[in-house]
Amino acid sequence: MRTQVGIVGSGPAGLLLAQLLHLQGIETVILERRSRAYVEGRIRAGVLEQGTVAVLTEAGVGERIRRKGLVHEGIHLSVRGQLHRIDFKALVGGAVTVYGQTEVTKDLIEARLAAGGQFVFEAEDVSICGFDGKRPKIGFTHDGRRRELACDFIAGCDGFHGVCRQSVPPGALSTHERVYPFAWLGMLVEAPPVCDELIYGHSERGFALFSMRSPTRSRLYIQCTPEEDLEAWPDARFFDELRLRLGGKMAKALPTGPCLEKSFAPMRSFVAEPMRFGRLFLAGDAAHIVPPTGAKGLNLAVADVRALARALAEFYASGRTDLLDAYSATCLRRVWKAQRFSWWMTSMLHRFFGRNPYDDRIQLAELDYLVSSRAAQQALAENYVGLPFEDAA
């Protein structure tokens, strides 16, 4: 097999990259170790920055987002039962769109299939080589046969545990990581939203988040320990705890409904740099992870592949490598800003049990300053709605 760009991973990063390159007449093949049904069924984040919606629209998959996405012009902070609204529209003239990553994935797969895009689902034992020269290759097993894909470039969009980053030679990669002493327990429920915007809750019992996926489905989270046992959290206990943490009128109005999915997510920050090694380019979770508090994971992946698609298009159009050479530095500027924002949101809203009382008082002072200062709210709104895309210097 032969193509121009071999893409490992069919999450939003790999799918969007293939779609953007297709619009530039550049051929791709996507290799994915899971089945199509599994990929389309993964429950993930659902808050899209303005810039992300613009890129998806440019890629030709914005129509369903426009029809079904929920545009939010602000968020609420619940601080010990008191509700405070951060008005994005008034503060920075922007908004975000709530539209599940599962739906983004489905839209992109449909677009690629409609355009004749090449996929290999259930590709086993994927390996990459030759990316330090001019003839990269991706080996894989499919239908019991060992095969090889020759390409000009490899895009590693295969997530945190994928093979691409692990294939980089020892010593060529620097990694930076912070593991948080808590996790999120999440439930997707068949119940209408209690509020028309997200509610981030801080309480003495820990963090809580009320979100939604549609007018009839709510996505709910509570802070828990990293060693949590899902069996210890029946639905009734989860709802009781969420009410205690939200407090006030929202707790009283919170509707319940059948649980469609329950999951547990550890919290970490991670960056690998650089994001390019010869003709291998890392994108999305393969290169960086952020805690979900700031809603930046999917949006960072979109920013990465936007930059990579533009760089590859320039190379195939003119032979120039300027943007390819700048890819890692371009992406990392945005990545580190998103890391800072996600760390700040996480540190401000979660309880660090066992921390000394001074630190707890500083956290409350930070929250008090935020809800009473327009300048502080404007900084939050600017980051949450999405900073401008980074382009090569």
Choose among 212, 254, 197, 200: nearest CA to 82: 200
Is 327 designated active site? no
Rounded CA-CA distance 302/56 in Å is 9
Choose among 278, 321, 286: nearest CA to 129: 278
- ∠ CA 180-348-300 to the nearest 5 degrees? 65
Is 384 designated active site? yes
Rounded CA-CA distance 326/281 in Å is 11
Is 234 designated active site? no
CB 26, CB 5: distance < 8 Å: yes
Catalytic pick among 22, 72, 76, 106? 72
Rounded CA-CA distance 117/138 in Å is 18
Is 181 designated active site? no
- What is the DSSP-derived secondary structure letter of residue 34? S
Rounded CA-CA distance 263/261 in Å is 7
Q: Strand order in 276-277's β-sheet?
A: 118-121, 28-32, 5-8, 153-156, 280-282, 276-277
Catalytic pick among 180, 202, 292, 350? 292
Catalytic pick among 291, 296, 327, 350? 296
Catalytic pick among 99, 180, 221, 384? 384
Catalytic pick among 200, 202, 221, 350? 200
Q: Is the backbone peptide bond immediately before 255 cis, with ω within 30 degrees of 0?
A: no
Consecutive H or E run containing 106: helix 101-114
Is 180 designated active site? no
Kindly list the catalytic residues.
72, 200, 292, 296, 384
